Structures are given as C-alpha cells and as structure tokens.
Structure 1
Amino acid sequence: MAYDLAPASVMFADVADVESAEMEIVHWDGGISIVPSGPVITRDADGGELHRLP
C-alpha cells in the first residue's frame, strides 16, 4: 500500500503483533509505502481508519 502525503501530514499504522511482526516501510519526499507481514490498520492524523491490510 502506498500513500501520497502532503507536507507536514501524519499517518499511523496499528500493528497486530509488534513482538513478531515484520513490516517494510519505505518513505520518500511526499510519500510512504507499507508492506506488512500481518494485519495492519493504517490511520490518518485524527485516528480515522484508512485501510485494513491483511
């Protein structure tokens, strides 16, 4: 999943199992890519759900 981010924007990722989960995060100027190994919920700066990734 890839996201385009405006300057100063914020997003969060809730990881189901932090102890054993691996997640690839790649960021660049204006964007971010998230490749989870398990369930992740991405959220905007206000905590609103963006996507549920399996």
Structure 2
Amino acid sequence: MGKVTVTIYMEEEDKEALQQLADAEERSLSQMAVLIVKRAIKKAQDDGTIRPKNS
C-alpha cells in the first residue's frame, strides 16, 4: 500500500508541543504524527470502536 499526503490544521501551540515531542524521540514532525495516529487507531481497534483492518 502506498503512502498518501494528509493535511491537518492545528493550533500553533499544539504544533510546537508536537515538535518538542518529536525532537525528544529523535523523529521528524511527520513521523511523530504518524506514530500518534497509528497508536490511536490501534487503541480504537482494541476497544472495539472500529474494526481491525482484516475484519
């Protein structure tokens, strides 16, 4: 599966906090955002909020 571009709009203070988190984990801003989204998806699947991809 290929990668796609997704644009999000957020408050400047949230972007700065996300950048600090990315810096602390030695990741790019984009990598950090993807990691957080993946964690949220996994949690929603585990909680039954959404179906896992293969279901």
Same fold (TM over 0.5): no
In terms of Rg, which structure is larger? Answer: 2
TM-score by length of 1: 0.25
Higher relative contact order (CA 8 A, sep 6+): 1
